[in-house]
Chain A
Amino acid sequence: MSLTGQLRYHFMKDIGAPALMGLQNITKKKRIRKPDPLFAPPLECTARLKEIMTRHYYLARFVPGAKPVAWVTSGAPVELLRSFGFYTIYPENHGSLVGAKKQGANMCAIAEGAGYSPDLCSYARIDLAHTLSGKTPAGRLPKPDILFAANNICQTIVYWFKAIAHHYDIPLILLDTPFNYSAINDGDIKYMVAQLQEMIPVLEQAAKKKFNYAEFQEIIGRARDTSLAWSDVLATMKNRPAPMTIFETFFHLAPIVSLRGLPVTYDYYQILLEELQQRVRQGIGAVTNERKRLMWDNIAIWYKVRDHSVQFAEQGMNFVTATYTNAWAETTVYMDVNNPFESMAKTYSLVILNNNLDYRLRLMERLIKEYQVDGLVIHSARSCKPYSVGQYDIKRKLRERLGIPAVVIDGDITDARAYSEEQTRTRLEAFFETMGD
């Protein structure tokens, strides 16, 4: 890491970026939005969220030469990396941004032109497209020095990261988290702890920095507090009316996914929480006429989030919980500063997608009860086999046990070519009919 590079990075981080972005805010004419009768006014925090994420992607330009760069999967134990000062990039987050900008299909086509099958996870195709072509409609990602992955969300992401590792000829560091067919056992935990410990010398080498246990503990503590804050944020939606919609949380999720363990993220959720609690006290619902409360299963359909939120709000329906957003709050309780490695093993291997379908069923049942859910919308995502395979059975069982109506939407997280507007509309209208008044 060069000294000038480091100086430039720190200058941009502390002075340059805030100043530049301040300027941007002034020059960009504030759009005065007409109040939308369907929704409460947008959360004030949203501006801060945008600032944090824009700054993160903006700073990326100054990182090469200043900090070691890691590309990281959403379920990887990033706390370990943080203690070495890596600048982290989350390709999945990048994929969702591309999807939200409705550029998913175009990016996917680039990867397909290079021989990647259209049947592959579209986050992966977007990332591969960016890696191969340098193109992306969402910021620019600095080239990785290492890749850091865990297979607790899927095996697919390892296949994908393997391709990136081959392309750049860089190391891929993997935490293998054995799938929990039933309960986790000591052998599994021992295996994961041993892997985590083996990573330390590798990371020391890559970052040219010695491991500092105390610093690591501090980061673990902060990550736990942040996750707790995130679960408090989600819990505000137990109120009737809910102060936020799940569609908003899909975006407010970005810091906990990609900036976990950093102070800025912890602070952000504190102010978000405050604003939501304020809304609860004032009885403000995110959807003005909240008649029915829904649960969302699977990752968002990023290019349709806006359309869907209007479509459901028009029916007086608000999404108040989702298995997806819950994933970053679910296993927080295991984090323990006094036992960081073992607790990390548990935190990361007990997440929803690394657990059997019975666990998932019970989790969903609990969420349905706690959040007083009236109906369930299941996104069957072509990209994501681990999330989608088993949904039909869960749907059936939830209907049998709780009598809850549910609808399946076929689509994809970012590749709009796998989504049929007409077919979905018909299904949703039928769903609205079964939900009654």
Chain B
Amino acid sequence: MPNDYFAGIDVGSLSTEAVIVDSNKHLLSYSIVNTGINSSAAAEEALSEALQKAELPRNRIAKIIATGYGRAAVGAAHKRMTEITCHAAGAQQLFPEVRTVIDIGGQDSKVIHIGQDGQLVDFAMNDKCAAGTGRFLEIMAKRLEVKLEKLGDLALLAEKAVSISNTCTVFAESEVVSLVAQNHPIDEIIRGLHVAIVNRIWNQVQTVGVHGQVALTGGVALNRGVVNLLEEKLEQTLEIYSEPQIVGALGAAILASK
């Protein structure tokens, strides 16, 4: 029996995903686990889980491509590629019309311009600080004692946004504390935080430009507040896959199959 299955593993700063596809690029299974402190263990765990779901033995996988910031730690990988190329490939597979991909993960956000044949044309990435990433929202959710999953919906319920002037995460945190002390409604503060992060991302989008249809990938695509505000800026709807976190791993698997 030929080894005609391919795997992609995306070791992100927060979550690790594994995806298995067949030679026709059909998705067989996927898994999402926490990255934790040990990247290589997380990669192993994700891969085993995905294999289990696909009911495949390990030796049926012909090629593995690792991606994500922990890609170097994946011992099983045959090749390593950046998540920029992989998110582009994944999005291209899911939405062939898409030319712009925005990936907002835990520690990084990226805007990627892809050409007709799926090749990279240009990309931008956030600078070192966490403003404009999922981490920013996580910190604020914790500070405001709100569940991360609820954050986006609360932002959408608010009538208006309180303006958050600091972009630095640490300063913004203390600004939030004093806004709460000044009795500003929590949902309006939350909306303000979403406006701030979307403005940051919008800056990056502008440096690359909006081309064709736009896909949003990464865990923050699960946040409806961000999605909504970003769509307002873009003046178009975003293409979002039902499991936005696995797009990078899917891209890696697709590239492995080529």
| A positions within 8 Å CB-CB of B | 105, 109, 112-115, 118, 416-417, 419-423
A72 to chain B, nearest CB (A): 30
Asked if B178 is at the interface of the complex by the 8 Å CB criterion, the answer is: yes
Does the CB pair A417–B199 fall under 8 Å? Answer: no
Which residue, of A113, A416, A419, A423, has the highest number of chain B Cβ atoms within 10 A?
A113
A277 to chain B, nearest CB (A): 41
Does the CB pair B207–A422 fall under 8 Å? Answer: no
Asked if B241 is at the interface of the complex by the 8 Å CB criterion, the answer is: no
Report the Cα distance A114→B204, complex, angstroms.
9
The answer to whether residues A422 and B178 also contact, given A113-B203, A113-B206, A115-B207 and a CB cut-off of 8 A, is yes
The answer to whether residues A422 and B175 also contact, given A113-B203, A114-B207, A115-B207 and a CB cut-off of 8 A, is yes
Report the Cα distance A109→B201, complex, angstroms.
11
The B interface, classified by DSSP as helix, strand, loop or mixed, is: helix
Report the Cα distance A134→B232, complex, angstroms.
22
Q: Which residues of the partner chain A approach B202 to less than 8 Å between Cβ atoms?
A: 113
B239 to chain A, nearest CB (A): 22
A-B pairs under 8 A by CB, number = 34
Q: A115-B207, A423-B171 are in contact. List 15 more A-B contacts (CB 8 A).
A: A105-B165, A113-B203, A113-B205, A113-B207, A114-B207, A118-B127, A417-B166, A417-B167, A417-B168, A420-B166, A420-B175, A421-B165, A422-B175, A422-B178, A423-B174
Chain B residue nearest to A420 in the complex (CB): B171
Report the Cα distance A363→B253, complex, angstroms.
68
Please name 22 pairs of A and B residues whose Cβ atoms are closer than 8 Å in the assembled complex, sorted by A.
A105-B165, A109-B199, A109-B203, A112-B203, A113-B206, A113-B207, A114-B206, A115-B207, A118-B167, A416-B165, A417-B165, A417-B166, A417-B167, A417-B168, A420-B166, A421-B175, A421-B178, A422-B174, A422-B175, A422-B178, A423-B171, A423-B174
Interface residues of B in 168-182 (CB under 8 A from A): 168, 171, 174-175, 177-178
Q: Which residues of the partner chain A approach B165 to less than 8 Å between Cβ atoms?
A: 105, 416-417, 419, 421
Chain B residue nearest to A303 in the complex (CB): B165
Report the Cα distance A118→B132, complex, angstroms.
14
Chain A residue nearest to B178 in the complex (CB): A422
Report the Cα distance A209→B207, complex, angstroms.
43
Q: Which residues of the partner chain B approach A421 to less than 8 Å between Cβ atoms?
A: 165, 175, 178
Q: Which residues of the partner chain A approach B207 to less than 8 Å between Cβ atoms?
A: 113-115
Report the Cα distance A419→B174, complex, angstroms.
12
B192 to chain A, nearest CB (A): 13
Which residue, of A105, A118, A416, A422, has the highest number of chain B Cβ atoms within 10 A?
A422
Report the Cα distance A417→B196, complex, angstroms.
11
Report the Cα distance A421→B199, complex, angstroms.
21
A312 to chain B, nearest CB (A): 21
Chain B residue nearest to A115 in the complex (CB): B207
Report the Cα distance A113→B203, complex, angstroms.
4
A122 to chain B, nearest CB (A): 13
B113 to chain A, nearest CB (A): 14
Q: Which residues of the partner chain A approach B171 to less than 8 Å between Cβ atoms?
A: 420, 423
Which residue, of B177, B203, B205, B206, has the highest number of chain A Cβ atoms within 10 A?
B203
Chain B residue nearest to A417 in the complex (CB): B167
Chain A residue nearest to B177 in the complex (CB): A422
Report the Cα distance A421→B164, complex, angstroms.
11
Report the Cα distance A114→B208, complex, angstroms.
9
A266 to chain B, nearest CB (A): 40
B233 to chain A, nearest CB (A): 11
Report the Cα distance A357→B191, complex, angstroms.
46
Report the Cα distance A420→B169, complex, angstroms.
12
Chain A residue nearest to B164 in the complex (CB): A417
Q: Chain B 144-183 against A: per-residue CB contact (8 Å), 1 yes, 0 no?
A: 0000000000000000000001111001001101100000
A104 to chain B, nearest CB (A): 10
B241 to chain A, nearest CB (A): 27
Chain A residue nearest to B206 in the complex (CB): A113
Report the Cα distance A113→B210, complex, angstroms.
12
Q: Which residues of the partner chain B approach A109 to less than 8 Å between Cβ atoms?
A: 199, 203
Q: Which residues of the partner chain A approach B199 to less than 8 Å between Cβ atoms?
A: 109
B229 to chain A, nearest CB (A): 15
Q: Chain B 44-77 against A: per-residue CB contact (8 Å), 1 yes, 0 no?
A: 0000000000000000000000000000000000
Chain B residue nearest to A106 in the complex (CB): B199
Q: Which 7 A-B pairs have the closest CB atoms?
A: A113-B206, A420-B171, A113-B203, A417-B167, A112-B203, A416-B165, A422-B174
